Amino acid sequence: MRRFSKIPLRIGGLLLGLLLSWPMLAEETPMRVQVFAPFIEMHTGPGAVYPVHHVAERDEWVVIHKRRTDWFLVETRRGKQGWVAIDEMRQTRLEDGTPLPLTAYSEKDFRDRTWEFSFYGGDMEGAALLGLYAGYAFNENLSTEVSFSQALGDFSSEYLFDVNLVSQPFPEWTFSPFFTLGGGVIRTNPNATLVETEDRTDTTAHVGAGLKVYMTRRFFLRGEFRHYAVFTSRDENEDFDQWKIGLGFFF
Partner 1 sequence: MENRTRFLFLSTAALLGLFNLSTGQAEEQLLGENLREELLVEPEIARREITEPNFDEEDFEIGVYAGLMNIEDFGTSAAYGLRLAYHGTESIFLEAAIGTSEANETSYEQLSGDVQLLTDSERRFTYYNLSAGYNILPGEVFLGGKYAYNSQFYLIGGIGTTRFAGDDEFTVNVGAGYRLLINDWLTIHLDARDHMFESDLLGESKTTHNFELTGSLSFFF
In this complex, which beta carbon is closest to partner 1, that of residue 85 or of residue 211? 85
In this complex, which beta carbon is closest to partner 1, that of residue 32 or of residue 205? 32
Least separation in angstroms between CB 174 and partner 1: 19
Least separation in angstroms between CB 30 and partner 1: 9
In this complex, which beta carbon is closest to partner 1, that of residue 23 or of residue 38? 23
Q: What is the DSSP letter of 92?
A: E
Binding residues (CB under 8 A) for partner 1: these are 22-23, 26-27, 31, 44-51, 64-73, 100-103, 119, 121, 128, 130, 132, 150, 152, 157, 189, 191-193, 216-219, 247, 249
Least separation in angstroms between CB 126 and partner 1: 12
- Given a contact cutoff of 8 angstroms between Cβ atoms, the answer to whether 132 and 148 are in contact is yes
CA angle in degrees (0–180, nearest 5) for 11-16-20 = 150
Closest-CA residue to 163 (of 139, 178, 180)? 180
Least separation in angstroms between CB 151 and partner 1: 9
In this complex, which beta carbon is closest to partner 1, that of residue 1 or of residue 25? 25
In this complex, which beta carbon is closest to partner 1, that of residue 178 or of residue 220? 220
CA gap 88, 58 in Å, rounded:
12
Least separation in angstroms between CB 136 and partner 1: 18
Residues 190-218 as b or e (16 or more Cβ within 10 Å = b): beeeeeeeeeeebebbbebebbbebeeeb
